[in-house]
Amino acid sequence: MEHAVAALGELFEPMRLLALFTGMLAGMVFGMMPGLGGVAAVSIMLPFIFLFDELGGLAMLLGAISVVYTSDTITSVLLGAPGSPASAPTAIEGHAMAKRGEASTALGVGFLASMLGGVVGALTLALAIPVAGPIVLALGTPELLMFAVVGLYFASSMVGKDLAVGILAGCMGLLLGAVGPAPAAANYRFTFGQAYLLDGLSLTIVALGLFAIAEVIGMLAGGGGISTSRQVVSSWGPGLAIFWKNKWVALRGALIGTFGGFVPAVGANASTWVAYGDSMRSAKDKSRFGKGEIRGIAAAEGANNATVISDLVPTLLFSVPGGPAAAIFLGALYSFGFYPGPRMVSEQPTLLYLIVWSVALASVVGAGICFAISPLMARLTRIRFALIAAPLLLVMVAGAYQSTQTFGDVAVLLALGMVGWYMKHAGWPRAPVLVGFVLAGPMEQYFWLTNQIYGWSWLLRPGVLVVASFIVLPIVWRFIVAMRRKYAPSAEMEAVLLSGDEDDPGTGPTVSRLVLAVLSMVFFAYAAFESIGFRPNARLLPLLAIVPGVALSIFVLLREFRLLWQQRAAFRFDARDEYPVAALLLLYGLGIFLLGLDLATLAFLIVVLTRFAQMRLAYAAIYTLILIAGVNGMFKLMRLSPPEGALIAGFTFT
Amino acid sequence: MIRHTGWGTCSVAAAVVAGLFGTPAQADFSGQTIEVIVPFAPGGATDVAARFLEKYFERHLEGNPNVEVINREGGGSILGAKWFEANAEPDGLRLLFTTSSTANPYVLGQPEVEYDLAAYRVAYGLPFGSVTYVSAATGIKTVEDFVKADGLIYGGIGAAASDLPTLLSFELFDVDVNSALGFTGRGPIRLSFERGETNVDFQFTPVYLTQVADTVAAGDAVALMSGGYMAADGNMTERDPAVPDLPSVHEAYTDLHGEAPSGVEWDAYNAMAALTLAFGLTAYLHPDTPDDIITLYADAVERINADPEFQEEAKDVVGGYPLTLPAYAEGPLRAALQPSDEVREYLIKLLSEKYDVQF
């Protein structure tokens, strides 16, 4: 206890508070930028931490870590583009609410849930540090495998009303997750001879591509403001009241998130989806999920913030970072000469409590600041789409590009962007793709490790049985309830039937549905062909996706053809007005490849701003130049070099 | 723009310039910025070491240049190396600071490799050490017990990764060890060892000293040997100065068998241990970098090694080894990067048959 008080005193040194708040502001800005999450914020802060003393420097990083998942709510709700991958559920539910004019409720609940998550995470950190050692050690490889399986099972509640395409989407995600090195066989899969793919796809890019690009295309093509009705963020009253009603959902989310953080490599993304799935399972009326259900926001925001903070538990106890941001924090601890480990708990109690206080303070103050700036941000949504979409797209390209700084980042972003765009219009759920993608890695890794270490005896380990009960108990419970009600239709089926995706595409045959059906057929057929050459140990996980994938693709394709045959008259060329924008976007990608970022952006933005935002050429040119200067400044700050054009480079040297 | 030239044009140009005018002598780096390219994510061991060295090179390089660490991760370090190949110039201002993750694919001739590591010059190196230890629950007390033991499980990242020397040492001693490969890092492996899932492990010396030594002192684990330290003749035969009480692989083998190890098993171990440990971290320069620039780095290395603050801090951060001078590094490093065909074939055969690595 006296350590806790002493640590608070240490933190309240003016310079350290300054460091904490500087970090917080940076974290908030990065949280709001789609694609630039905690990792980007922390890595940008890294060079600056040495301006302060060691406790101040660490406080700065903690400030950034703690608020990223609070401020990303703003982007997710107002723009529908996830501010960071782990807030994709918030983007789905929150943006649907914003479209109904309930932005302030969604934001209020999101902020409060984030704050709760942060505080629960900090509390856990304080309580867990003395006792968590045995818990972390009790979670063996088989238990971690079981967690991944539970996550995938929870994801099944997100498949939406069309079971076939929902599962197909999940299989696609698993397959995307299989790109790159196979953990158990030193076999590279689906890399097409590209060094870029040797590490697999980046989560940031997959999330941005699937969710955000489609939004930007829609925004550019749509004209007008972001919401059809006015986005009023004025009264926080309803938000507070509704948060209070959903406090237990948020708390459950926070606890799930905390638990996810304990386990290295589970990360905020996986535990957010698990919490979201859990909130869906525990809801009485599941039909509103995907259409703006506040419970989804409360659970997801509670979870993601709690996870990044409890990621610090394994980091501090065992020097094993719980997540990517925690990994950078660990690096900073090392460079200040702190060596986390069981000994640190007894030797450096003040440092530990300083970490706890920093995180707690940043979470609370960060939520407060978010409340304060949201009305300002909401006003932005009333100006023309294209004016916001332009910088948003630039930030996304920059955010994607910082993954490896090769053109592959931009190419994958745009390719997945096109897929996500078609999925949005065809009414295919995108969440299962992301969940499959996130869980493919841990599932495969832990399965093979478990198999190599334990054979099959792991199935009987008590820990595994406890974790498995998360799946089995609800099923048994439902079964009992169903038996009692006998002929009443089961709640489960109803949920599956009713929970739709964010957009309701209607039922008739459309170009998007046809294109996607053909695309997924090609995708799985090719994967099946390539996987023939894999080593047995590298083939299992892809097959888990390919076998159902091929079967379902055939089914969906036949179904689309039949639908087309039956309703020829109703066949629509949907989203026709968005095609020029999509084509322009692809051209932009090609332009970046050939001419480099600056020239391509110049051409792209001037066309977009004059054509879609009806800006006058002179204004458009000025705005474009400001944006290009801004993005170059950002690259400078991140110590990256912007994409260079292949053509230009070629000319200079010959 | 001219910075982003390819090797071809550049080396021709350099040769022409050098031929016509002679290379202008560069007295110092004053007012310059030196970029240290780390082909790994921020926060990893390589990044930490690069950032740790930053201030010492700023202090001791002639002209006190600004040193900046830049992360270009991806492709298991191959993307960063590829970028360096395309963007470095023989002016000493851009370094590639990397590990055996870049060197092993080069030695094994993997198809994605598009850089000629053996042609590069070396600015400085920082050795690593490693310690192999077993769980006390195995009942193993000595190297002799270890060689006879069964039921041993080793956790690793991948056979062609930093696990390679340790796996080769198992071959050298002919120990029966099952490996569970596919962990994401040495940290999770250490946790798995502490949970009792695996019972043989190795850690690099900084981690060993701060995280494992206590467990060994408490009698829960038994340290068997170190990976060794490079002798003046370029072979990994000496004791590791960071763990002076432990025999090296070479010494442990000699003690056990009464004769020094030899044959392709030892040659393969020696080469890969040199790459992974002795040249664990190496700062490479453009192949045409002139000698006077190499001398600037050599002088800085000597001054850094003599800097008492470095000696003090290096103990905690990087295991306390002195930096390697370019003159000592280049010869043995090139030899290790270009092993004999016999060693290369042995490695490829072992990796593809025993560990299912695809070439």
B347 inside domain:
no
Give how far B60 is from chain A: nearest CA, Å: 19
Q: Do B198 and A406 touch (CB under 8 A)?
A: no
Residue in the block written with tokens 């050429």: A617
Return the number of CB contacts < 8 Å for A and B. Answer: 162
- Is residue A169 within 8 A of residue A424, CB to CB? The reply is no
**How many degrees, rounded to 5, is the angle at CA A236 between CA A235 and CA A240?**
145
- Specify whether B216 is located in the same domain as B229: yes
Query: In terms of pTM, does the model score above 0.80?
Result: no
Task: Provide mean pLDDT across the span A463-490.
Answer: 69
CA distances from B63 to A89, B24, B36, B89, B293 (A): 53, 17, 17, 19, 12
B355 inside domain:
no
Task: Report the CATH number at residue B99.
Answer: 3.40.190.150
Task: Provide mean pLDDT across the span A255-281.
Answer: 78
- Specify whether B180 is located in the same domain as B97: no
Q: Minimal CA–CA distance to A61: which of B83, B43, B131?
A: B43
B46 inside domain:
yes
Q: Is the pLDDT at A412 greater than 80, yes or no?
A: yes
Kindly state whether A337 is in contact with chain B, defined as any CB-CB distance less than 8 angstroms.
yes
- Specify whether B253 is located in the same domain as B305: no
d(CA B12, CA A562): 65
Q: In this predicted structure, what is the pLDDT of residue B22? A: 41
**What are the pLDDT digits (tens) for A136-173?**
677 788 887 887 787 777 666 666 667 788 889 989 99
The count of other CB atoms within 10 Å of the CB of residue A437 is 26
> What residues have CB less than 8 Å from A330, skipping those under 6 apart?
A315, A319, A321, A340, B43
- Is residue B66 within 8 A of residue B32, CB to CB? The reply is yes
Residue B283 pairs in a beta bridge with B97, B124
Indicate if the alpha-carbon torsion angle A424, A428, A431, A436 is positive or negative.
negative
> What residues have CB less than 8 Å from A277, skipping those under 6 apart?
A154, A155, A157, A158
Boundaries of every domain in chain A: 2-562
Q: In this predicted structure, what is the pLDDT of residue A269? A: 72
What length is written for chain A?
654
Nearest to A319 among B4, B197, B211 (CB): B211
Q: Is the pLDDT at A614 greater than 90, yes or no?
A: no
Task: Provide mean pLDDT across the span A12-35.
Answer: 86
Residue numbers in A near B155 (CB within 8 A): 449
3-state secondary structure of A269: helix
- Specify whether B182 is located in the same domain as B230: yes
d(CA A421, CA A213): 7
Residue numbers in B near A337 (CB within 8 A): 313, 316-317
Nearest to A186 among B5, B160, B207 (CB): B160
In A225-348, which residue ranges form alpha helices assigned H by DSSP?
237-245, 247-262, 267-281, 294-310, 312-318, 324-335, 342-347
- Is residue A312 within 8 A of residue A355, CB to CB? The reply is yes
Residue B238 pairs in a beta bridge with B229
Radius of gyration of chain A (CA): 24
The boundaries of the domain holding residue B194 are: 130-275
Q: In this predicted structure, what is the pLDDT of residue A198? A: 79
**What are the pLDDT digits (tens) for A320-359?**
666 767 877 877 787 677 767 666 766 777 888 899 999 9
Kindly state whether A637 is in contact with chain B, defined as any CB-CB distance less than 8 angstroms.
no
CA distances from B78 to A409, B103, B181, B277 (A): 15, 9, 21, 19
Q: Is the pLDDT at A246 greater than 90, yes or no?
A: no
B357 inside domain:
no
The token pair that represents A623 in the structure block = 């705005």
The count of other CB atoms within 10 Å of the CB of residue A614 is 11
In A338-348, which residue ranges form alpha helices assigned H by DSSP?
342-347
- Specify whether B135 is located in the same domain as B270: yes
Kindly state whether A54 is in contact with chain B, defined as any CB-CB distance less than 8 angstroms.
no
Residue numbers in B near A187 (CB within 8 A): 356, 358
Q: Do B210 and A324 touch (CB under 8 A)?
A: no
Sheet with B33-38, edge to edge strand ranges? B66-71, B33-38, B94-98, B281-285, B121-126
B269 inside domain:
yes
- Is residue A98 within 8 A of residue A79, CB to CB? The reply is no
Amino acid identity at A19: A
d(CA A273, CA A304): 9
**What are the pLDDT digits (tens) for A36-73?**
667 777 766 776 777 788 888 899 999 988 898 888 88
B222 inside domain:
yes
CA distances from A398 to A40, A547, B60, B255 (A): 11, 37, 36, 58
Q: In this predicted structure, what is the pLDDT of residue A436? A: 83
In our burial notation (b when 16+ CB lie closer than 10 A, e otherwise), range A143-156 reads bbbbbbbbbbbbbe
Q: Is the pLDDT at A630 greater than 80, yes or no?
A: yes
Nearest to B5 among A137, A186, A653 (CB): A653
The token pair that represents A565 in the structure block = 């045959």
The DSSP code for B124 is: E
- Specify whether B139 is located in the same domain as B257: yes
- Specify whether B249 is located in the same domain as B152: yes
Q: Do B195 and A321 touch (CB under 8 A)?
A: no
Q: Do B358 and A185 touch (CB under 8 A)?
A: yes
Q: In this predicted structure, what is the pLDDT of residue A498? A: 35
d(CA B43, CA B51): 10
The chain A residue lying nearest B82, using CA atoms, is: A195
Q: What is the dihedral of CA A313, A316, A317, A322, to 10 degrees?
A: 50
Residue numbers in A near B39 (CB within 8 A): none
- Specify whether B184 is located in the same domain as B217: yes
Of A415-419, A433-437, B12-16, the range with the lowest mean pLDDT is B12-16
Q: Give the whole-number percent of chain A exceeding pLDDT 90.
A: 21
B302 inside domain:
yes
Q: Do B159 and A185 touch (CB under 8 A)?
A: no
Q: Which of B275, B297, B317 is the last residue of a domain?
A: B275
d(CA B289, CA B283): 13
- Specify whether B134 is located in the same domain as B271: yes
Query: A 265-324 residues with CB below 8 A of B?
Result: 265, 314, 318-321, 324
d(CA B160, CA B112): 14
pLDDT tens, N- to C-terminus, chain B (359 residues): 333 434 444 444 444 444 444 444 457 898 889 999 999 877 677 888 898 899 899 999 999 999 988 888 777 788 889 889 988 999 999 999 999 889 988 998 887 788 899 999 999 999 989 999 999 999 999 999 999 999 999 998 888 888 999 999 999 999 999 999 888 778 888 888 988 899 999 998 888 888 889 899 999 999 999 999 999 888 999 999 999 999 999 999 999 999 999 999 999 999 999 999 999 999 999 999 999 999 999 999 999 999 999 998 888 778 789 999 998 888 899 999 999 999 999 999 999 888 877 77
Q: Mean of the per-residue pLDDT values for chain A? A: 81
- Is residue A71 within 8 A of residue A31, CB to CB? The reply is yes
The token pair that represents B140 in the structure block = 């193993």
CA distances from B311 to A340, B159, B245, B301 (A): 22, 34, 21, 12
Task: Report the CATH number at residue B226.
Answer: 3.40.190.10
- Is residue A423 within 8 A of residue A210, CB to CB? The reply is yes
Q: Domains in chain B: how many in total?
A: 2
For residue A340, is it left (φ>0), alpha (ψ between -120 and 50) or beta? beta
Amino acid identity at A224: G
- Specify whether B62 is located in the same domain as B173: no
d(CA A145, CA A260): 13
Q: In this predicted structure, what is the pLDDT of residue B87? A: 87
The count of other CB atoms within 10 Å of the CB of residue A619 is 12
Task: Provide mean pLDDT across the span A24-28.
Answer: 89
Q: In this predicted structure, what is the pLDDT of residue A491? A: 40
Q: In this predicted structure, what is the pLDDT of residue B260? A: 95
The chain A residue lying nearest B6, using CA atoms, is: A653
Q: Do A653 and B2 touch (CB under 8 A)?
A: yes
Q: In this predicted structure, what is the pLDDT of residue A83? A: 74
Q: Give the whole-number percent of chain A exceeding pLDDT 70.
A: 84
Radius of gyration of chain B (CA): 21
- Is residue B278 within 8 A of residue B329, CB to CB? The reply is no
